[in-house]
Amino acid sequence: MQGKRILFLRQKLQPIIAGASTVYIENYSVNASTIKGCDTNFFVRSVPISLAAEAGVPVHDIKVQSWRKTFKGDARNALFNALRTPTFFPDTTTDAIKNGDAIDAVCIGLHSLMERGFSLAVRSLSAM
């Protein structure tokens, strides 16, 4: 299963990362109380990191605390609701949906752009 997941990610991410100027990835440390899925977490994170290295694209770690300050509960939920479609979660496992991995990835990307001077094109996420 891990091999198929890694190959799928490589195929989808390779053309995107090859044209990127930077790759942003949330830093990760193991929480011993919720160790379930730890191997998948490391395998999946290794894909964009290795593709970036192959393409000569720098990788920047984003601390979970920093993007969560930008996208606090209400803002994160409003963004999630604005983007939600029946196909929004490419990983439809119960854990992926419960953990909101896809919306976290969107928030990390937007936070990274905002840190570099870009602004959101809406006045407030609640207006969505």
pLDDT digits (tens, 9 = 90+) for 29-73: 777 777 666 777 778 888 899 999 999 999 998 888 888 888 887
Residue 86 shares a structural domain with residue 55: no
Residue 95 shares a structural domain with residue 43: no
Domain boundary among 62, 87, 102: 62
What burial letters (b/e) apply to 41-75, b meaning 16+ CB within 10 Å?
Answer: eeebeebbeebbeeeebebeebeeeebbebbeeeb
pTM of the predicted model as reported, rounded to 2 decimal places: 0.68
Residue 23: φ, ψ to 5°: -115, 130
Q: Which domain holds residue 48?
A: 1-62
Domain boundary among 19, 45, 62: 62
Residue 88's pLDDT is 60
Residue 74 shares a structural domain with residue 40: no
Residue 48 shares a structural domain with residue 93: no
Residue 56 shares a structural domain with residue 71: no
Residue 109 shares a structural domain with residue 81: yes
Q: Domain count of the chain? A: 2
Residue 96 scores a pLDDT above 70: no
- Give the pLDDT mean for 87-114: 71
Residue 69 shares a structural domain with residue 58: no
Residue 71 shares a structural domain with residue 46: no
Residue 128 scores a pLDDT above 60: no
